[in-house]
């Protein structure tokens, strides 16, 4: 599976990329920090998964989410955030996010979500809600 990472925090992207490289079958095919760059990267590279912050450098991460979810076959979207709120989570859910996770406290859940997504079909039950939080 291919992944695009989009977050303003280069340190977060690098740390996450190192963790993802340890998961067999996952390949990071691009990184970005702004909405236009992220949109172009997703349209051109057609990743299976996009891990992105709802607040990209120019503050339009939710617009990227809305745009790419209109694609014929959109990638799975994992929204990561520094400052979660119910309103933000609801907006991301309505825009089509598959997962919504807090970067600081749910870093391991990002990795767990990717392990679930890489599992062979039929071995993982689907989440009950459109935005799965992978609660312990």
* Residue 125 placed within a domain: no
Give the domain range for residue 11. 2-118
Q: Give the whole-angstrom CA distance, residue 41 versus residue 31.
A: 8
* Residue 60 placed within a domain: yes
Give the length of the chain. Answer: 136
This prediction has a pTM of 0.80
* Residue 106 placed within a domain: yes
* Residue 114 placed within a domain: yes
* Residue 55 placed within a domain: yes
* Residue 44 placed within a domain: yes
Q: What is the pLDDT of residues 73-120, one digit of tens each?
A: 889 999 988 877 888 888 888 888 988 888 877 677 888 878 777 776
Tokens coding 81: 């955030």
Q: What is the pLDDT of residues 102-115, one digit of tens each?
A: 887 767 788 887 87
Cβ–Cβ < 8 Å for 54, 77: no
The rounded percent of the chain whose pLDDT value lies above 70 is 86
pLDDT at 27: 92
Q: Give the whole-angstrom CA distance, residue 2 versus residue 27.
A: 5
Residue 6 has pLDDT above 50, yes or no: yes
Q: How many domains does the chain have?
A: 1
* Residue 128 placed within a domain: no
Report the CATH number that the domain containing residue 23 is assigned in CATH. 3.40.50.2300
Q: What is the pLDDT of residues 21-69, one digit of tens each?
A: 888 888 999 999 999 999 999 999 999 999 999 888 777 778 888 888 8
pLDDT at 123: 54
The owner of tokens 């990002």 is 110
* Residue 57 placed within a domain: yes
């Amino acid at each position: 599976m291919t992944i695009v990472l989009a977050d303003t925090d280069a340190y977060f992207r690098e740390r996450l990329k190192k963790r993802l490289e340890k998961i067999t079958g996952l390949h990071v095919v691009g990184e970005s920090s702004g909405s236009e760059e992220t949109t172009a990267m997703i349209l051109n590279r057609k990743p299976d998964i996009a891990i992105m912050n709802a607040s990209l450098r120019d503050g339009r991460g939710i617009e990227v989410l809305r745009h790419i979810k209109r694609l014929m076959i959109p990638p799975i979207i994992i929204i990561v955030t520094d400052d979660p709120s119910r309103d933000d989570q609801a907006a991301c859910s309505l825009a089509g996010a598959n997962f919504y996770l807090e970067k600081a406290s749910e870093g391991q859940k990002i990795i767990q979500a990717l392990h679930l997504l890489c599992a062979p079909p039929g071995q993982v039950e689907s989440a009950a809600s459109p935005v799965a939080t992978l609660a312990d």
